[in-house]
Structure 1
Amino acid sequence: MTHALETDLASGALAEIITDIAEEAARLILPYWRVGTTVETKSDASPVTEADRAAEALILQRLAERWPGVQTVAEEAVAADGAPASVSDWFWLIDPLDGTKGFVQGRESFTVNIALIHRDRPVAGVVTAPASSVSWASTAPGKGAVRRVFGEAWRPIKVRAQPAEGIALLSHSMTDEEAARLAARHGCTQWQGTDSSLKFCLIAEGRFDAYPRTGPTSEWDTAAGQAVLEAAGGRVLGADGQRLAYGKPGFLNGPFVAMGG
């Protein structure tokens, strides 16, 4: 069941395939954007749209076609049926539309996220931004991270050494005072609010320096971005100073900070 998965991961074919899947999902999502899509509220008070559900169904179908039998943990399936009680050594974490609130409000920084987890670590991931037609991905293990505009060639990306006046990326939900204080705690004199897992990717390509998060997130919100950022030379650390791990109870993250160089 996992032999093909491991072979594709090692060769780099897996990164290409999941990026193609994420970009197909992106094209499915875009017709729902800025057209007054109906919004429902889930039990955790977060929004969900038909775009979320359609994209997730597509991703699950494509993954099952290529790698049948590999466990999947996907946001909307968990919302509908509950989280699985346990996970296998290998499993997929999927957020078909991260940043739904911004998507509903017409903002651009929503993403499609697919990550492969092996024994609590994200070993492959892709983040796709439908509105800008850009994807970021980890490549074969040890081969770095890459970025591409849809239909164009990949180009390598890497984190930058943090400058004296670093710039943090933070959630839009924070007040200016809270954001400035949190940014300063991580050596950043400036900050910018941004939706979704795009924050990990902007650090991975060397444009920003840190993304500290104190509020709650789910593992599917962070796994693909972490895979990309770590492949680009960055780190994602939990409150205990250890690498953020996956397959935790309820698939919930505590506080963490994502960092570049």
Structure 2
Amino acid sequence: MTQAPLNSLETDLASGLLSSVIADIAEEAAQVILPYWRSGTAVETKADASPVTEADRAAEALILTRLAERWPGVEAVAEEAAAADGTPERVGEWFWLIDPLDGTKGFVQGRESFTVNIALIHGDVPVAGVVTAPATGLTWASTAPGEGAVRRAFGEAWRPIRVRDRASDGTALLSHSLTDEEATRLAARHGCIQWQGMDSSLKFCLIAEGRFDAYPRTGPTSEWDTAAGQAVLEAAGGRVLGEDGRRLTYRKPGFLNGPFTAVGG
């Protein structure tokens, strides 16, 4: 990486411009994805048995192109490139984590809760992130460091969001892969008497805007599944904790996460 792009990246991060630009990129990717939704698009199976569609690939190509145009030389770890070529053994101090279509299973089934995730990692933590929900036309973003998180409908102004204080009757968001019995037990373990199943990184964002309280995850995820949502939630006053009770960090072997819990107030 040359010094000029790095200086630009840090300056844009500090001013909040970076989050604004990657939000525009994520929303542009959403417009690439939407024509494939509920259209009977062909589905392939990757080596890890997860689904992939042309929408995933087209959105990822656009995101990688736009990021390279704006901040040349900054490395990127993106889901479909990683599936095709393997994850890199090492990355630089700054790098992007990208999931161009998180929640592909739900997308293929016609559900609404799929997202576009773009995050910037510095060292081993997410310092900026954007999550866009193409089907509902909403975007969540971290702002300049220390200045909170925001949400907007496509084409409208940003408004600030904040986690809520934990209520005695808290509600958890959980993966659709759990049985009702497993979900009830897991929600109770984290102080929630109610739960709702949901796909994708949207779970982080709904906690960030104060509608839900916790998202415990026991099964494996990839770092590109969580980084953008974590950036938004932390900016809104929440936390994402690994199994050891410490902040969930990144650039782990294979870019894989262990169990974690995302919480609001």
Same fold (TM over 0.5): yes
Aligned mate of 2:189, from 172, 182, 185: 185
Report the secondary structure of 2:151's partner residue.
strand
> Normalising by the residue count of structure 2, what TM-score does the alignment of the two structures yield?
0.98
> Normalising by the residue count of structure 1, what TM-score does the alignment of the two structures yield?
1.00
Tell me the equivalent position of 1:66: 70
Query: In the TM superposition, what are the counterparts of 1:61-100 in structure 2 within 5 Å?
Result: 61-100=65-104
Report the secondary structure of 1:116's partner residue.
strand
Tell me the equivalent position of 1:27: 31
Deviation at 1:176, TM superposition (A): 0.3
Tell me the equivalent position of 2:155: 151
Report the secondary structure of 2:127's partner residue.
strand
Deviation at 1:110, TM superposition (A): 0.1
Runs of 4+ in 1 over 4 A off after TM superposition: none
Tell me the equivalent position of 2:46: 42
Residues 1:6 and 2:10 are matched in the alignment: yes
Tell me the equivalent position of 2:219: 215
CA distance in 2, matches of 1:193, 1:71: 34
- Which residue identity does 2:133 align to in structure 1? A
Q: Unaligned 5+ residue runs, structure 2?
A: none
- Which residue identity does 1:160 align to in structure 2? R
Tell me the equivalent position of 1:257: 261
CA distance in 1, matches of 2:121, 2:207: 21
Residues 1:120 and 2:124 are matched in the alignment: yes
Residues 1:105 and 2:109 are matched in the alignment: yes
CA distance in 2, matches of 1:179, 1:89: 38
Report the secondary structure of 2:41's partner residue.
coil
What percent identity do the matched residue pairs reach?
A: 82
Aligned mate of 1:241, from 237, 240, 245: 245
Tell me the equivalent position of 2:145: 141
Residue-by-residue CA offset, 1:155-186 (whole Å, 9 max, x unaligned)? 00000001000000000000000000000010
CA distance in 2, matches of 1:132, 1:35: 17
CA distance in 1, matches of 2:6, 2:212: 36
CA distance in 2, matches of 1:185, 1:162: 14
- Which residue identity does 1:70 align to in structure 2? V
Deviation at 1:245, TM superposition (A): 0.3
CA distance in 2, matches of 1:36, 1:242: 42
Report the secondary structure of 1:2's partner residue.
helix
CA distance in 2, matches of 1:221, 1:166: 24
- Which residue identity does 2:64 align to in structure 1? L
Aligned mate of 2:205, from 191, 201, 204: 201
Aligned mate of 2:175, from 168, 171, 176: 171
Q: Unaligned 5+ residue runs, structure 1?
A: none
Residue-by-residue CA offset, 1:116-152 (whole Å, 9 max, x unaligned)? 0000000000000000000000000000000000000
Tell me the equivalent position of 1:130: 134
Deviation at 1:87, TM superposition (A): 1.2
CA distance in 2, matches of 1:200, 1:122: 14
CA distance in 2, matches of 1:61, 1:157: 30
CA distance in 1, matches of 2:123, 2:19: 19
- Which residue identity does 1:78 align to in structure 2? A
Report the secondary structure of 2:62's partner residue.
helix
Residue-by-residue CA offset, 1:226-245 (whole Å, 9 max, x unaligned)? 00000000000000011000
- Which residue identity does 2:162 align to in structure 1? K
Count of residues in correspondence between the two structures: 261
CA distance in 2, matches of 1:215, 1:12: 34
